[in-house]
Structure 1
Amino acid sequence: MKICTHCGASNLDANKFCTECGTALEPLSTPKGGTAAPSAPFVPITKPLSESERIAYGLSNSLKSRLQQFQGKRSADIMFVLDCTGSMGGEIEAIKDAIMDFADTIESDGVRVRVGLVEFRDRLIQEEHRVLTFNGEPFTSDPVAFRNEVAKLRAGGGGDEPESSLDAILLALRQPFTQQGSKVIVLVTDAPPHIPDLETKSINSVVQAIRDVGVQQLYLVIRTQDPNSQVYLKLLEGARGMAFELGKGDDFRQRAEDFKRTLMALGKTISQATR
C-alpha cells in the first residue's frame, strides 16, 4: 500500500494520486538488491482495526466479499465533454494520466463506473465534435482502454474564443446511458459557449434537454470567475451538481497537475452523490 504523506490515507500500489485528497503519491522504493518494497507496511496492532483498515491490510476476506456484493448495487455512466482546442493540452494530459486513479476512487466507494468522452472545438468553423468509441461503444468500464483513446487526442484549433460546448453537451445527452444507474455529465472547458450554435438555440433549451434525459449529476470544470463563462452555471438548473475552478495561466505542467487534483476531488463527489 502507498500511504499519502499529506492526509495519511491508504492507497493501492498502482495509484499515482491519493484517492482522498488528490496529492501525488511517492513511488514505492526498491531497496538495494532489486527486491521491491513490501506491498503493505508493517502495522503494529495496538487497537481493533476499522473495517476499512482491515480491508486495506487484507485481514478480512468476508469483508472483501461484502464489498464486492455491494459494488453491484450502484453504478454510474460518466461522460466527459472535453474542450480540445489549443489551450487545453494540460487538461488532456491530466485525464490521460489520472483516469485510472479517478476510476479507482469511485469504485473503491462501491460504485461500478463506465466512462466516455466527447471532444469538441468550434463547429462554426467546421470543427466537428466527436464521441470516442471503445469496440464500437461510447462507454467503457476499462480505464486502460479509455486512457489509450484519450492519448490519441491532440489540442488544436478553436478559432475565436467561444466554442461549441453546448452542442457537445447535446451530443453527449444522446448517448446510451445506463437505465439503472446515475447519468453523469462532466464539462471541461476554458472558453464560453457559442449561443446560438449549429444546434443550440438558447441556454434554456440545453437545460431542458438535460432534464428530459434525466441526468442526475452535472459538473462544470470552467473558469468560474470569467463573466463570459458564468452562463454555464445556468445548466445546474437541469441537474444536481456543482462547478469546479479550471485554473488559470499558461503553464502546461501546472495546469495538468491542478486538473489531476480536481479529477480526484470530482471522483469523490461523484461516488458520494451516486445512489
Structure 2
Amino acid sequence: MWFYLPAAIIYGVLFVAPTFASFYFALTRWTIFDSEFIGLDNFVTFFSEPYLFQSLIHTLLYAVITSGLKVVLGLLFAVFLSSQIIARGYLRSVVFFPVLVSAVGVGVTFRVLMDPFDGLINNVLAGVGIDGPGWLTDPDLALFSVAFVDVWAGVGIATLIYIAGIVAIPQEYFEAAKVDGASAVKSFRHVTLPLMRPATTTVIILSLIGGLRSFALIWTMTGGGPGFSSDVLASMVYKQYQAGFYGLSTAGNVVLFVLVAAIVIPLFWFLNRKEVDR
C-alpha cells in the first residue's frame, strides 16, 4: 500500500480535490476574491439559455458521429492493414501519422484547406465543375466538417487498437474456419468480430470520451461559429469563463463531467457484460 500512496496523493490533489471543488463552486457566484452561494441558479440558467442547451445537443451529436465513424473506419483499416499487402508497414504509418499532430495544428491546417474561397478543397472541386460549400461558414455544415476532421485525425488510434486485436487472435481459429469451408466474409463475421470485442469496447469508450470532451479542434477551426452553430459544451464553458461568468462556466463543467460519466460508465459495464456473456 505504501507504493500506491505517492500516486494516490497526486491523483487526489490534481483530480479528486478539484472535482469536489467544482461541484461546490458550481453552486456559487464567484470571483477570484470571493464567492456567494446561490444554490442551483447556475444550473437553471444553463438549461434555460437556448444556446447553452443547444451546445449540449451538439456535444452528443458530435460524439456519436466521431465515435461511430472511428469504430467503423478503424475496423476496416485494421482488417486491410493486417492482410498481406505491399508496403503494409508504410501504410500503417500513414494512417497513424495524424495522431502525432496536435489538435491545434490539425485545426489550423484544415481551416485553411476548407476556406470557401481560397481553400484547396473547394479549388479542386471547382476544377471538376462543382461549386464547393462553405465548410466552416455554413451553419448547417460547420459541426459536421469539424467532426470529419476529428475522425481523420483520430482514426489512427482506433486502427492501431484493432490491429493489435487482430494480431492477438490465434491463427488456429482461421485455419479451422477455412477447413470447415468458411468464406473470408464468414470468417470475419464469426471469428474476427467476436474475438475483437475487447478491442471494440476500448475504441468505443475512448472515442466517446474524446468526442464528448472535444474542444481544441472545434475552437481552432470555428470558434463555435458561425454564430453558435458548432458550439459544444466545452467551448460554451470557455466562452462563459471569458465573459466573467465563472459560476456558470463551472456549472457547465459539472454538467459535462456528469454527462461523460452517465454515458461512459453504464456503456462500459454493458459492453463488458456482453463480453462475459459470450
TM class by shorter chain equals: under 0.3
Higher helix share: 2
Q: Structure 1 length normalisation: TM-score?
A: 0.25
TM-score of the pair, normalised by structure 2:
0.25
